[in-house]
Structure 1
Amino acid sequence: MFVALGFEVVFASLAFVYTRRLLRLRAIPGSDDINGYQKALRKLRKNEPMTEDEYHLAERIIDIRRSPLAFSVPAAFMTLGLFYIFGSLEYLHGSTPSERTFLGIIPMFTSTNLIIQMLKSASLKKRLKDARLHEVQPA
């Protein structure tokens, strides 16, 4: 339990540093639009023509999600679940565990999903080279 707590402190500290870095990034065109990131990544996935702003937005989000420090966020969730499970088992002193003991599995599943989604979007880096750009016609 104490090992899990130690890892939790380390990963939570790294996640804090990572989110502070993200908050300091300045906004680029398209990043403040509703679903701007999703639209840009969807166009990249489907190999649809993108504007230059969408290209830069997709490039930024892929770089953000590929950062090794980004994986500290799901790692913090994972160790939080481990800490809860091990702490509950230690509290029981060998008694039969109840359903409450395994509530720590929920953040562990969440962190696994986060890692899978981050790896999916990080794999789009190869498609950035082949992305098709189109010019926006002035109205």
Structure 2
Amino acid sequence: MFVALGFEVVFATLAFVYIRRLLRLRTLPLSDDLNGYQKALRKLRKNEPMSRDEWNLAERILDIRRSPLAYSVPAAFMTIGIFYIFGSLEYLHGHTPSERTFLGVIPMFTSTNLIIQMRKSARLKKRLAKATVVEPEDSSPAALVPFG
């Protein structure tokens, strides 16, 4: 239990540092729009033409999600679940565990889902190099130029 607590402190500290870095980033033009991130990533997934702002936003999202420090957030969730389970088992002193003991599984499932979603979006980096950027001045098919 104390080892899990030690890892929790380390991962929570790294997550704090990572989130502080994210908060210091300047905003991009489409980042404040409703569903701006989702629209940019959807266009990237479907290989649809993107504006320069959408491409910049998609690049930022992928860089954020591919950062090794980004994995400290789900790791902190995982270790808090492990800490809760081990702490509950130690508190029972050998008695039969109840359902309450296994509430720590919920943050563990959450962290697993976060890691899967981060890896899924990180795979889009290959498509970013092949993405087509449309200049806003001329939206004719001749304006489609590969960017990368």
TM-score range, shorter chain: over 0.9
Q: After the TM superposition, which segments of 4 or more aligned residues of structure 1 sit over 3 Å from their partners? A: none
Amino acid at match of 1:21: R
5+ residue gaps, structure 2: 139-148
What is the CA–CA distance in structure 1 between the aligned matches of 2:29 and 2:7, rounded to whole Å?
Answer: 38
TM-score by length of 2: 0.92
- How many angstroms does 1:137 deviate by? 4.0
Q: Which residues of 2 match residues 1-139 of structure 1 at below 5 A?
A: 1-137=1-137
SS at match of 2:75: helix
* Secondary structure of residue in 1 paired with 2:29: coil
Q: TM-score, normalised by structure 1?
A: 0.98
Residues 50-107 of structure 1: per-residue CA shift (max 9 Å, x gap) = 0000000000000000000000000000000000000000000000000000000000
1:135 deviates by: 2.0
Secondary structure at 1:50 match in 2: coil
- For residues 120 and 35 of structure 1, the distance between their equivalents in structure 2, rounded to whole angstroms, comes to 18
Q: Provide the C-alpha distance between the structure 2 equivalents of 1:66 and 1:83, rounded to a whole number of angstroms.
A: 27
Root-mean-square deviation (CA, aligned residues, Å) is: 0.8
What is the SS of the residue equivalent to 2:26? coil
Q: Bigger relative contact order, structure 1 or 2, given CA contacts below 8 A and separation 6+?
A: 1
Bigger Rg, structure 1 or 2: 2
Q: Which amino acid aligns with 1:38?
A: Q
Q: Which runs of 5+ in 1 are unaligned?
A: none
Q: Secondary structure at the match of 1:133?
A: strand
Quote how far apart the aligned CAs of 1:134 are.
1.1
User: How many pairs were matched up?
Assistant: 138
Which AA in structure 2 matches 1:102?
Answer: F
Question: Quick one: which amino acid aligns to residue 86 of structure 1?
Answer: F
CA distance in 1, matches of 2:69, 2:96: 38
Question: For residues 120 and 50 of structure 1, what CA distance do their matches in structure 2 show?
Answer: 20
- Sequence identity of aligned pairs in percent? 81
